Chains A and B, each alone.
Chain A
Amino acid sequence: MLWEKQSRNLAFGALAAASILVSGGAAPAADWKPAKPVEIVIGNAPGGAMDRLARLADGYLKSEKLIPGESIVLPKPGGGHAVALAYMKGHAKDASHLMAVNTLLISNNLLGRSELKFADFTPISILYEEPMMFAVKYDSQIKDATDLAKRLKADPSSVSFSVSSGLGTANHMAAVLLAQSVGADIRKLKAVSFESGSEGITSVLGGHVDVVVTPPGSMMQFIDDKQLRFIAVAGEHRAAAPLGDVPTWKELGYNVSVSAWRGIIGPPGLKPEEVDFWQKAFDGFMKSDAYKKSAKEEIFEARYLNAADSAKFLAEMDKQFRDYLTLVGASGTK
């Protein structure tokens, strides 16, 4: 059954490819469509957040029949996206390859883990952000965000933070920016790294660490169950519906704002019409019901940027990350 469907799609794809060959160069540039099967590459194993994004986009491309041929999600795990990025680099000028990316695109290069820079690739779109939440155990001594800031100012080592996978993540950056904005010594900041967001949440639920800094998706169950409570969000503005009551650090007077963004890039050297095709496709994706449903479940903040604005955004993120590295590096964090 599945096979039948696949072979039909393949046949359809071959037909479409043939028709493109026949029409040759006569078609106007704006009509570019991927003739080959499309690969949406991810840098992680299946089952994670990036996989869900890639599959959602893949489903959209298929259901809207935006592409004439097949499309697949291709996991290339390893080296914190380094393996997948190298794969993309190897398919320069081939617009049938896309990759779902996040903040690692910026941080891996600046941390010296990957030779490949964001500028080596063709930005397609920034899609959405996850709000970076500060949460404490429900019965924690820490009353609210202001109380946390006060404690941190009085004694930076009196509070411990769980920052998921550590240096180079938006989670860690948020904790560092908070310490900086209250004027605390960053060397004394207790930022504990865990291998995953859920390990970090476990440590706060068990009372081993005081504050968890992570996106809300995996915490909502504990919030509803009155085991955790949110105290602040490290964003430019408050997050949407269920998190509307949580204040931003900015409105409380602390300059703590980070972006845990997700986006799509293409291999190096794509043509304008290819970029245009994909950015329109992802503009449509962001308006689709499938995206909206997933955004509601996992609590994403839509932030669609077209290719040109994405390039600017990535440059900004690159600068913010360099500043942060100077901040941690200059103050001697190991």
Chain B
Amino acid sequence: MEQLTHFIGGFAVALEPINLWYAFLGCVMGTIVGVLPGLGPAAGMALLIPATFGMEPASAIIMLAGLYYGAQYGGSTTSILINTPGEASSVMTTLDGFQMAKAGRAGAALAVAAIGSFIAGTISVILLSLLAVPLSRFALTIGPAEYFALLLFSMASVTSLTGSSLPKAAFAVAIGLIIATVGIDLQSGTSRFTGSVPELQDGVGFIVAAVGLFAVSEVFVTLEQMFAGKTELIGLKGSLWLTRDEWRRARMPILRGSFIGFFKGILPGGGATIATILSYSLEKGLSKEPEKFGTGMIEGVAGPEAANNAAATGAFVPLLALGLPGSASTAILLGAFMIYGVQPGPGLLAKNPELVWGLIDSMYIGNVMLFILNLPLIMLFVRILYVPIGIMMPLILVVAGIGVYSLNESVLELFLALGFGVLGYLMRKLSIPIPPLVLSIVLGGLLEKSFRQSLTISGGDLGILVGSPIAVILLLLSVFVFCIPFIPKRRRNTTEVVAK
């Protein structure tokens, strides 16, 4: 009952006009940050923090949080329209989202992303309101060994589910894992494969790789097609909105994605990215026509887009209940809390209920705002498809270049992105899927880290990896998922035989 009082009290804070205004500002900035490749939510919040000095702590945190979950709405836009994910958590959306756009259903893809984000955002805020404290205990039971198993499962899913050919996807994953080893090794503290270049000490960033592999290589491919005289405008077919059938197919993936995303969001590391992989895997696994994934299935957009939004909200559970950030973005939010003299931790809910519940309740309102904000934007964004290629391609290069340069003001990273562009072009020519490469750059470091942390704890005994039921289940699932590509083929063969 006390919780209910706080819950209602939180709305008193969240509905103050000034806080509504800041939530709105945060959501607008989040949408922009999400749409622009390069500037992610972490960097966006870091830029915004200095501007919030002198504000009330509640207002400042409501605005920063708005930017954070707002960025998850915008992230899908570039994935769908120009095949360039702005955040690691929108890589999965490129798989079917861009294919939908090619088939003239860009409006529906953007709409389902917005609807999915809204539903997932709302469901996960409800879960956050109800379950924050008990769930934070659960997050603690996930140690390095369990985390390793979870990452292995994600990597196995990526390998077996994202391409048409398992060896090609595995090849892409292997290259990604190699690139992920560049940088200072956390456990031994030595530099690996940095060639004495200081910029490489922190490893190869996601944005540099993604911008090069997706955006720059897209420009190369389009250029080639233009010279060959094969380009055509994609255009739009049918309504901008979802058809009845599309909505029927998207409903359940959104719901499932919301729950997967929220529960993954609670666990530290990998953030929303793993949640999108899990959701995509699940949808492909449950689908009656899994072979159609990657050709523009709305389920493959709806699930991951719901999952990444829900994960962003789930990440507030350990942050608010324990004061422990699980990702770069939430670490910056934690820093912001401390700047305003609010110490997150187990005592936060008891000591600052107005602040915590004001924040949580502002997220209900923020999600409605984002939904209303994003729907008209769809009309605007789909027009991008009608921009002539001669204007669009240089524009993509400019935005991509600014995105990369804004990270560290490093010219070297611009050249790296160009190099990745060439690599991406070659991969497209050889029809090697790009998403597994990018995702393994993001997750490879975490995979290695958790593996070696486990072995340091156990003193080199591999037994620790199967030391808990959660780890065992996840490892078995990894093996299963890796075998999936072999299953439908046999089933198809049998049906063919039967048909004969």
Which A positions have Cβ atoms within 8 angstroms of B?
45-48, 51-52, 55, 73, 75, 77-80, 82-83, 86, 111-114, 157, 160, 165-168, 188, 190-196, 198-199, 201-203, 205-209, 218, 220-222, 224-225, 227, 297-298, 334
Contact = CB atoms under 8 A, between A and B. Distances in A.
Interface residues of B, number: 53
Given A198-B323, A202-B268, A206-B141, A160 B187 contact: no
Interface stretch (B343-351, B370-378, B426-434): B343-351
Interface stretch (B12-20, B68-76, B333-341, B383-391): B333-341
Nearest to A167: B189
A198 B333 CA distance: 13
A166 B344 CA distance: 25
Interface of B: 42-43, 45-47, 49-50, 53, 139-145, 184, 186-191, 198-199, 201-202, 268, 318, 322-325, 331-332, 334-336, 338-339, 341, 343-348, 408, 410, 449, 453, 456-457, 459
Nearest to A83: B198
A320 B166 CA distance: 53
Contacts of B456: 160, 190-193
A202 B141 contact: no
B453 A113 contact: no
Contact of B324 (A45, A75, A201): A201
A218 B323 contact: yes
Contacts of B140: 202, 205-207
Contacts of B336: 47
A79 B347 contact: no
A206 B326 CA distance: 14
B188 A167 contact: yes
A47 B457 contact: no
Nearest to A86: B198
Contacts of A47: 45-46, 49, 331-332, 334-336, 339
A46 B49 contact: yes
A129 B449 CA distance: 29
Nearest to A191: B456
Contacts of A222: 345-346
Contacts of A227: 346
A41 B53 CA distance: 19
A227 B137 CA distance: 12
Most buried by B among A157, A160, A193, A196: A193
Given A45-B332, A46-B50, A47-B46, A203 B191 contact: no
Given A192-B457, A196-B331, A225-B347, A79 B189 contact: no
Contacts of A112: 190-191
B408 A77 contact: yes
Contacts of B42: 45
16 contacts: A47-B336, A52-B338, A78-B198, A78-B199, A83-B199, A166-B186, A167-B190, A192-B456, A194-B453, A198-B334, A199-B268, A205-B140, A208-B144, A221-B323, A222-B345, A298-B338
B234 to A, nearest CB: 38
Looking at B141, B144, B199, the one whose CB has the most chain A CB atoms below 10 A away is B144
Contacts of B49: 46-47
Contact of B343 (A75, A77, A114, A221): A221
A190 B187 CA distance: 11
A175 to B, nearest CB: 12
A47 B201 CA distance: 21
B453 A80 contact: no
Given A47-B331, A199-B268, A222-B345, A114 B143 contact: no
B441 to A, nearest CB: 17
B346 A166 contact: no
B331 to A, nearest CB: 7
Contact of B187 (A52, A166, A208, A298): A166
A120 B191 CA distance: 22
Nearest to B346: A225
Contacts of B198: 78-79, 82-83, 86, 113-114
